[in-house]
Amino acid sequence: MSKTTAFETDILELVFTNTDLAGIGDGTGLQGSGTPGSLYICLFTGNPDEAGSIANECVYTGYARVGVARSGAGWTVSGDTVSNAAAVTFGECTAGSETATHFGIAKADAESTADLIFYGALDSGLAISSGIIPEFIIGAIDVTEQ
């Protein structure tokens, strides 16, 4: 069974921009959070796969997940796709080296086995070593609801 494009948009807006999803259940629908908070972008050296494994999350010195506000300032929803509305810049690598091959979107800023909600492969591996500052430019992160 498939979702309609309109419902895919509604789901993405609820999760990424904290927009109420009207018309579900009672008259108020599914409500956004009173305190929307952020989603957190993370980098991986291997595929976290459907289990959402964080075993391969990057660990270079200077790395931390980057928070992106659950709002229109953080995300742009168009149809069945959501993209980052601002650049996402990670900390500079000051020691260590690794190659990031995947990225994820998580519910929390601290590594936890149950917080990864979306993941995907990078177009090509990103070699990270001293002095490198990984970054996703505006619109580089795309999530398509299917």
Joined tokens for residue 140? 């580089």
pLDDT digits (tens, 9 = 90+) for 94-123: 999 999 999 999 999 987 767 999 999 999
Measured between alpha carbons, how far is 132 from 13 in angstroms, rounded to an integer?
33
For the chain, give the percent of residues with pLDDT over 70. 99
Rounded percentage of the chain residues whose pLDDT exceeds 90: 75
- Which region holds residue 37: left if phi is over 0, alpha if psi is between -120 and 50, else beta? left
Q: Looking at residue 110, what is its pLDDT? A: 83
Check residue 113 and give its pLDDT. Answer: 63
In the chain, domain spans: 5-144
Quote the CA–CA distance of 16 and 118 in Å, as a whole number: 12
pLDDT at position 76 is 97
Q: What is the mean pLDDT of residues 26-48?
A: 90
